[in-house]
Amino acid sequence: MRGILLEMQYRSKAPAFFGYWLRKVRVMDVGLVLDELEDRLSREEIERLLPLDLLVRGQLPRQQGGEEVWLAVEVSNVIDENDVVRAVERAGLLRKAGLRAVPVVAGRVVASGDVASLLETQRVASLLNGSRSGWEQALDYARA
């Protein structure tokens, strides 16, 4: 239940959570962008993308180029390795479809130090109990 409530909170207050990084923040329904994605991804890839917890679209601030950026967000009360792997995979699928996508995990705490290391090595941005980290590295990777 905590995870579901947390996901609802991130969805309803997306500009508050992601407005530090992006402007014109909008939560997107994956189903509404399927037409665009189906031309670029296989059926299996679409099926792996559909369970994404939250898809957020916005623009970088003008000082950072103003480019459109998509966030592949996995939300969990306790962030574990699976959350990180899913965020990376789903952001990768969005990039394959031609979108500038950043993997993000959002939650209250990280399960272990190993997960914290994985966030860094996989270049995943995180929002943990109000604290933000890893954005620059994740964005640089998405731009590459």
CB atoms near residue 135 (< 10 Å): 18
CA atoms of 137 and 123, how far apart (whole Å): 6
Task: Supply the pLDDT for residue 1.
Answer: 61
Task: Supply the pLDDT for residue 84.
Answer: 97
Domain of 94, in residue numbers: 2-143
CA atoms of 33 and 129, how far apart (whole Å): 30
Task: Supply the pLDDT for residue 93.
Answer: 97
Tokens 């031609």 correspond to what residue? 98
Q: Based on the structure, what is the number of domains in the chain? A: 1
Task: Supply the pLDDT for residue 32.
Answer: 85
Q: What is the pTM of this model?
A: 0.94
What is the full per-residue pLDDT of the chain (144 aa) written as tens digits? Answer: 666 788 899 999 999 999 999 999 999 998 888 888 998 999 999 999 999 999 999 999 998 889 999 999 999 999 999 999 999 999 999 999 999 999 999 999 999 889 999 999 999 999 998 799 999 999 988 887
Nearest to residue 133, comparing CAs of 61, 143, 144, 117?
A: 117
Task: Tell me if 19 sits within 8 A of 25, measured CB to CB.
Answer: yes
